[in-house]
Amino acid sequence: MGLLSGIRSPEDVRRLTPAQTTQLAGEVRAFLVDQVSRTGGHLGPNLGVVELTIAMHRVFSSPRDTFVFDTGHQSYVHKLLTGRQDFSALRKRGGMSGYPSRAESEHDVVENSHASTALSWADGIAKANRVAGRRDRHVVAVIGDGALTGGMAWEALNNIAAADDCRLVIVVNDNGRSYSPTIGGVAHHLDTLRTTRGYEAFLDWGKRTLRRTGAPGRFAYDWLHGLKKGLKDVVAPQGMFEDLGLKYVGPVDGHDEVAMEHALRRARAYGGPVIVHAITEKGRGYTPAEEDIADRFHSVGAIHPETGLPVAPSRFGWTKVFADEIVQIGRRRPDVVGITAAMLNPVGLAPFAKEFPDRTFDVGIAEQHAATSAAGMAFAGLHPVVAVYATFLNRAFDQVLMDVALHSAGVTFVLDRAGVTGDDGASHNGMWDMAMLRIVPGLRLAAPRDEATLRSALRAAVDVDDAPTVVRYPKGALTDPIDALESLDGVDVVARHTPGEGAAAGRRVLVVGVGSMAGAALAAGESLAAHGLEVDVVAPTWVLPVPEALVKLAGEHDLVLTLEDGLADGGVGATVAQRAADQGVRTPFVHRGVSKSFLDHASRDQVMTAQRMRAEDAVRAALAALARD
């Protein structure tokens, strides 16, 4: 493409004329639609920041000036302008990350794709620049209005406001949405800013009036000061930021590159913390995204670029089962309420919200608040169901521990995208939850293996009113049903294999499949039986606390093989082994799970292979352990 193909660094962007920047913006949008429709990725957010990002690279000099993107899913344009234009393997193993990546470029800094953290990063970098005497450097943080609903952003603002000699520019990318429309007081405040553009024009009128009348200087000053003060809270609600001690510029049309440049140059010249309020449109320039009201284009799989429709319609998935079952539960239980952290549609609470709008609470990107607010609701007689991605519960661990569990609050946490998710990379894999939550006193955790066990786990979870409960399930399509042969005190036996006639006296192996790993456990059991072993395969739905029946079974076998899609170190298998050892069970254990490391982006299957978590890997490990014994 014309100009874009010649962009190898930000210096190339700065050499363009204003007219050329308009052409470049069009080429960038066409490139994104063409490429992301093939690979999948965060399309809508990036279409909304094209001119904003171009302006940033024309006003500031990255990497000397540091750019920090909150969550980073809107960094595709930044990647293009810093010489990364091969999107053919976006979010695939060996290809470009869907988020900033230090391994890719010196222009990338923050890789964590959890929201509301950018301002704290920027505060730290700006203070380090000041201490080191680097007075010629700026830090530019881009944060969306959705991320400003997170408490951590306001902790940072409180500190940034006091650092009046730090060269820090905060670009608020205000599109009125995160995954869905932004909610809460901050959203209402920014909405007011968007719709009260008459403030500067009114002051200009006042200044022109004074010039015409020739009023004396002191009178003119007092008159204008009084006028400005009187209007401040009426048509200039930016006073909220200014009262914190932060200079405010805006609102600015985020799709007017020249206006954005002007605003950013003003901010750069100030020499202290400045907020630049940019009004943008998510999905700008792509009709299917502009007309979408459900934010289907926030993150997409492969789509037809002309229509925006999926190339391969998704199969009925885990989230849809939860969405259906929680509505059924809500009809029976008027005390059940739903809580989401800015992800009503992605976690499946939208149908519940539609039927029970007064019993659904979207708290914004504020998982800590969600957990503690839920504890308060439980105290007052409700049973809250907090639905979040598994990786995001990490942010609320203290609240689960000290506000929910300590107070024996009946709160159910539903963890979507639990286990290995793959293509979003290190910070989005939901692999930490079981190892983290196993230390919470009284907490009960279910890892259903199929639709039936998910539904039953949800029903059981909301019946617990004296402790936190957790139901976790993976991303994507449902697995095939796995029926139980029998249930031993809550532990489902899903297969038994006895060696055939003529086989050597078989040793007994217990295979434990946790949640979505039940299928792999079945396959491993069949393979071990083919080696002349007697094998029992179990798939307990409730895994924390460890069922007594599981400890008893472990003592009746010569080896226990556990498979889980969370951390192997400190996970469910390790917890079962410890519990068994505490009761004098000497059976050796072999655990298959995720290693204690950060996983690069790749498909789920590729991650499972690299982590040696396939059935054949488990079988090799079990046979090796038996050979050593």
- 367, 451, 534, 564: the catalytic one is 367
- Is 73 annotated to bind a ligand? Reply is yes
- Residues 6 or more apart whose CB falls under 8 angstroms from that of 487 comprise 493
Q: Which candidate, 301, 286, 381, 294, places its Cα nearest to that of 335?
A: 381
For 146, the token pair is 């959705």
- Is 367 annotated to bind a ligand? Reply is yes
DSSP 394: G
For 155, the token pair is 């902790």
- Is 616 annotated to bind a ligand? Reply is no
Write out the E strands in 5-65.
none
- Is 115 annotated to bind a ligand? Reply is yes
Under a CB-based contact definition with an 8 Å cutoff, are residues 317 and 288 in contact? no
DSSP 499: P
Bridge partner residues of 438 (DSSP): none
- Is 175 annotated to bind a ligand? Reply is yes
Using the Cα atoms of residue 58, residue 71, residue 161 and residue 50 in order, give the sign of their dihedral: positive
- Looking at the chain, how many residues does it have? 629
Q: Where are the alpha helices (DSSP H) in 196-315?
A: 198-213, 217-235, 239-243, 257-270, 287-290
- Is 113 annotated to bind a ligand? Reply is yes
Examine the residue annotation and report whether 596 is marked as an active-site residue of this protein.
no
- Is 531 annotated to bind a ligand? Reply is no
**Strand, helix or coil at 620?**
helix
For 450, the token pair is 């199929």
Distance from C-alpha of 400 to C-alpha of 445, rounded to nearest angstrom: 13
Examine the residue annotation and report whether 395 is marked as an active-site residue of this protein.
yes
- Residues 6 or more apart whose CB falls under 8 angstroms from that of 21 comprise 13, 51, 54, 58, 257, 258
For 559, the token pair is 């080896």
- Is 601 annotated to bind a ligand? Reply is no
- 29, 282, 444, 472: the catalytic one is 282
Q: Which candidate, 524, 537, 534, 495, places its Cα nearest to that of 619?
A: 524
Examine the residue annotation and report whether 282 is marked as an active-site residue of this protein.
yes
Q: How many helices (H) and strands (E) does the chain have?
A: 25, 18
Distance from C-alpha of 268 to C-alpha of 263, rounded to nearest angstrom: 9
CA dihedral of 516, 522, 525, 529, whole degrees rounded to 10: -170
- 29, 91, 247, 395: the catalytic one is 395
Kind and range of the H or E run holding 520: helix 518-530
Write out the E strands in 373-465.
383-389, 412-416, 444-446
For 508, the token pair is 């007994």
For 281, the token pair is 């449109």
* Residues flagged as binding site: 73, 113-115, 145-147, 175, 286, 367
Catalytic residues: 282, 367, 395
Task: Give the annotated binding-site residues for thiamine diphosphate.
Answer: 73, 113-115, 146-147, 175, 286, 367
Residues forming the annotated binding site for Mg(2+)?
145, 175
